[in-house]
Chains A and B, each alone.
Chain A
Amino acid sequence: MSDQSQKPSSSPIRQAIKKSQTQEAARLFDARRATQITTATAPEPVKSALSPTRQAAIEPLPSPAQSNSSSLTTKIKEWVGSAADWTPRQRLTVILASGLIGFICLASVVFALGQTSSAAILYAPLPTVSASSVLDHFRTVGLIASHVQRLNVPDKSWKAVQGIQAELDSGSIKGNVLILSYKSRDEADADAFRASIGSVFGNWTVVQAANILLLTSPDTPQTLNAELSSHLTQQIIAPYRAFLATSTPNH
């Protein structure tokens, strides 16, 4: 009778305790599962999480970083410990391997430092010359210039400060040329690119040397193009670049 009278009153409390324990265990299970996924380390058995004592239930979980570092430390300790058991041959191998790695690192550093010093050689800047001085140079080296016309630049097509159109004659070979000079190399670069993509001068041969653009018409023979490019190199670039042959020592 007394049992029957107690049952209805104690049953809800027991159920509540059981329910809270089950919820706590489920929560801990989820938390450990999450830790297991993130750290990829073996978690403590779930059994302990399900232990009935609250002390065990509130035991703090190791953080992923702690878990990782402790396992790494253990591994290193194990490895160092086992090094004491190495045979002389194994020790020799480790010493040789370490020496080899050190040598490769040292050689790389020495090589890199050597590269830096060789690349530090600087060339003198190229001079700024005028279109008329280029034409004069062409005459000096034996080319005959005819139908010489000064262009009214800068205009819509060119941002040059001086422009000359002429017909150049090298023996039996003739060609029409445009010689343009600019304030700076940058302006010459821009006009050279624009000329090469444009519909009017797209098929002309464009040669650039410092602030000078030399354009030759499509009907100009390739040999004359090469000759003019060479003369331009000799006048503007070769005196300032020792690796290029200078056939015109006056400049």
Chain B
Amino acid sequence: MNQKRSNLYRAQHQAEHWAQRGQGLVEYVLILSMVAIVVIGAAFLIGLAVQRVYGIIGGALGAKHDEVAGVVITIDEASCYVVSAAVAPPTGRTGLYVTGTTNVNLADLTGSTDRAVGGPLNSNAGGFKYQPLFASLPDEGLCPKSVVIQSKNGQLAFAPVQIKYMN
């Protein structure tokens, strides 16, 4: 009788052990799947923002990158003009002037700097013109360090911004 009970207990214990082990594996798989889904979703949602930040950092460090494979986005000129009151009365101006060439529809492109994100681009011969005005006074402190031109599909070009004075 005791032997029978012991065997029964052992079998029950073993079954519980296997049940617990199986549950653990399922949990692992579920957790990994959910983490993967969340990571992939986050990458799609914030991918462009992360890419833009990398571009801005790259430009601020002095690097220049143009998109040239199939989709083309090149930055030909990126200057921040600090204009004195003598040139632009009555108080002067500070603004960015970026031009470049592209084969992307301008509606699908945005311009960003380390000071402003997601500005629209204007048409120019063979490409685009990005010309945000920062202030109605000459202040080089308002000039951004870098500019990023980014398409909705993830292609981007970035370049450092050169400060130029107009007196």
**Which A residues lie at the B interface, using CB under 8 A?**
118-119, 121, 123, 185, 189-190, 192-194, 196-198, 207-209, 214, 226, 229, 232-233, 236-238, 241, 243-244
Contacts and interface: CB of A to CB of B under 8 A. Distances in A.
Given A194-B88, A197-B93, A207 B124 contact: yes
27 contacts: A118-B69, A119-B65, A185-B76, A189-B77, A189-B79, A189-B99, A193-B83, A193-B95, A193-B131, A194-B83, A197-B88, A197-B93, A197-B133, A208-B99, A208-B124, A208-B125, A209-B125, A209-B126, A232-B125, A233-B125, A236-B125, A237-B125, A237-B127, A241-B126, A243-B72, A243-B101, A244-B103
Contacts, number: 69
A157 to B, nearest CB: 11
Interface of B: 65-66, 68-69, 72, 74, 76-77, 79, 81, 83, 87-88, 93, 95, 97, 99, 101, 103, 123-127, 129, 131, 133, 164, 166
A50 B129 CA distance: 76
Contact of B87 (A194, A207, A238): A194
A187 B48 CA distance: 34
Q: Is the interface of B mostly helix, strand, loop or mixed?
A: strand
Nearest to A115: B65
Contacts of A121: 68
Contacts of A208: 99, 124-125, 129
Of A193, A209, A233, A244, chain B has the most CB atoms within 10 Å of the CB of A193
A121 B131 CA distance: 27
Given A119-B68, A238-B126, A243-B72, A194 B101 contact: no
B68 A197 contact: no
Contacts of B129: 208
Given A121-B68, A208-B129, A198 B124 contact: no
Nearest to A230: B125
Contacts of B65: 119
A218 to B, nearest CB: 15
A193 B69 contact: no
CB-CB nearest 4 A-B residue pairs: A237-B126, A209-B125, A233-B126, A193-B97
Contacts of A241: 72, 101, 126
